[in-house]
Amino acid sequence: MKRRRRPLPSTRPLGRVASHFTREGTPKNPYRTEREAQSAAQLAWTLNGADLNAYRCDYCHQWHVGKRFRDD
């Protein structure tokens, strides 16, 4: 009987990361630079009044825009 090896923590399969996906389950739009993401956030504010923030994604290492969190 062959024993299965338990994967190491660093080699675990990538699961769905909330900050990388929309509520609908689709991946968020990636931007190569912070400036591109900030421009998209500004456009969303101009067109829709959406208060979005640019952030670097730990999942794909690109930039996304998402809801702004307040420090209240």
Rounded distance between C-alpha atoms, residue 47 and residue 70, angstroms: 22
pLDDT for 46: 95
In a domain, 1, yes or no: no
pLDDT for 4: 65
Contacts of 56 (CB under 8 A, 6+ apart): 34, 62, 63
Residue-number span of the structural domain to which 35 is assigned? 17-67
How many structural domains is the chain composed of?
1
| Residue 8 structure tokens | 């190491």
In a domain, 49, yes or no: yes
In a domain, 22, yes or no: yes
pLDDT at 50 over 60: yes
Rounded distance between C-alpha atoms, residue 38 and residue 41, angstroms: 5
| Residue 46 structure tokens | 């101009």
